[in-house]
Structure 1
Amino acid sequence: MPEYLQVAVRSLFILLSLFIITKLLGKKQLSKLSFFEYITGITVGSIAGTLSMDLGLPLSEGLMSIFLWFLFPLMFSYLSLKSSRFRRFAEGKPSVFIKDGKIDEKALKKEQYSIDELLEQLRKKDVFRAADVEFATLDTNGDLSVLLKKEKQPLLKEDMMTVFQRSTPPQAVITDGKIDEAALKEVGFPEPWLLKELSKRQLSVEAIFLAQLDKEGNLTFDLYNWTNTQQN
């Protein structure tokens, strides 16, 4: 077989293999890449390109190398879903840059974020004054999440019908069926109060995938799918 046909066949075979592996990893990989996934993607691309052009390299050994490189992010994703501790270790925790309109210089320095970069990200959110921000965090995927102060938010219909209250960011007090005591402390509610609220709704902690609570006592739930099915 001519060399150009060998290159074409090898390239098509490698492309098909990469497509199958990417489908196995899921759509998350297409949106935001972690640092580890970024390095993996570069390495796999380099291996695939070399394997396509260098006919002296065995195709089977090259594909084995690609599968091994894709195995690690797949394992990381699985462990992150199963363990919140591993997820915090692998992905880190969001960093609070602004709270109550005040910038945390230590958090900026820790994330190697300059004040100019912070202001640029705020402008992309249509925020031109840091003092207007109630809460701003740098998420683990590198995005900046911003919550404006209540008086700076667009006027909603319910605002005309309720007494003015200062808005506070909700905390994830339950994740993956487990209570986060640190998050409860942040919003100022004790664990017995949370358990009492769950009892009123005839819910158990284990049945809740995510529960968010703010300092005003507003509690929202997202149940596991199997719980929704039983209730329906």
Structure 2
Amino acid sequence: MNEGLVVFVRSIIGFFSLLIFAKILGKQQISQLTFFDYVLGITIGSIAATLTTDLSSRAWPHFVGLLTWALLGYLMEYITEKWRYAAKYIEGEPTIVIMNGKIMENALRKMKFTAADIMALLRIKDVFDLTQVDFAIIEPNGQLSVLKKPEYEPLTPKDMSILKAPSGISTELIYDGILVEQNLKQLNKTKEWVMNQLKMYEVKDISEVFLATLTPSGSLYIDKYDDHITKITDIGDYEGPY
């Protein structure tokens, strides 16, 4: 009983300590975290967990460690904000891995990246053909920024002096074979309307549909469970022994 009470009190201390330190250190999206920020977060969380459950030692040494790591993290943030030269070594800097359409092999080796890694990051950016790439840069957080060659840049309505109405956000009508009636009411649609739309796609029953969405502009997307795709394209760079 006493141990449970101690854990409860320590948990409260650790929880609010993390909350305060997180506010002090600031907020960043996971995709924006550098490797240093990632390791710092894991370490502070680990110390807080030890503070909560390690009853074989006093709480204050763990709290001192927690406070020290948080203060050092804040100090590093302050230094990187004030001195860009220091940030270059603490947080890292962008590295060009493709320049004028050519892969910089030495830069890849220095960063411990492989050609397969770059291909995967390019696919995340909707680039499936290396001949379209003019520049590619690895940012300090590990993300890839891509500049396509001018002839592969998509035309926008602004380029053609065309006014385009906003398409809006898609709303789910059918999810995993189930009709989302609440969304239908928000869109002022009925089940009969949905069934009429499905008939145009040769769908007889809602249970045949994996996902159906509708945008405010009226664009309807329907994906059936049975798509009749017999062979999925293999994009792997190496088949392996299996």
**TM-score relative to the length of structure 1:** 0.64
Residue in 2 that maps onto 1:151: 151
Residue in 1 that maps onto 2:25: 25
Single out whichever of 129-138 and 48-57 deviates more from structure 2: 48-57
- Higher Rg: 2
Contact 1:102 1:130 in 2 (8 A): no
Unaligned runs of 5+ in 1: 162-232
Q: Where has structure 1 moved over 6 Å in runs of 4 or more?
A: none
- 1:87-117 deviation line (CA, Å, top 9, x unaligned): 1121222111111211111111111111111
Between the two proteins, the alignment pairs up a number of residues equal to 161
| Paired AA for residue 105 in structure 2 | E
Mapping for residues 1-232 of structure 1, pairs under 5 Å:
2-28=2-28, 31-160=31-160
Contact 2:50 2:62 in 1 (8 A): no
In 2, Cα distance between equivalents of 1:139 and 1:98? 13
Change (3 A) 1:143 1:92: same
Structure holding more helix per residue: 1
- Compute the displacement of 1:59 (Å): 2.1
Unaligned runs of 5+ in 2: 162-242
- Compute the displacement of 1:31 (Å): 4.8
In 1, Cα distance between equivalents of 2:59 and 2:90? 33
| Paired AA for residue 50 in structure 1 | T
Contact 1:136 1:147 in 2 (8 A): yes
Change (3 A) 1:120 1:84: same
CA RMSD of aligned residues (A): 1.9
Single out whichever of 32-41 and 78-87 deviates more from structure 2: 32-41
- Compute the displacement of 1:50 (Å): 1.9
**TM-score relative to the length of structure 2:** 0.62
Single out whichever of 128-137 and 24-33 deviates more from structure 2: 24-33
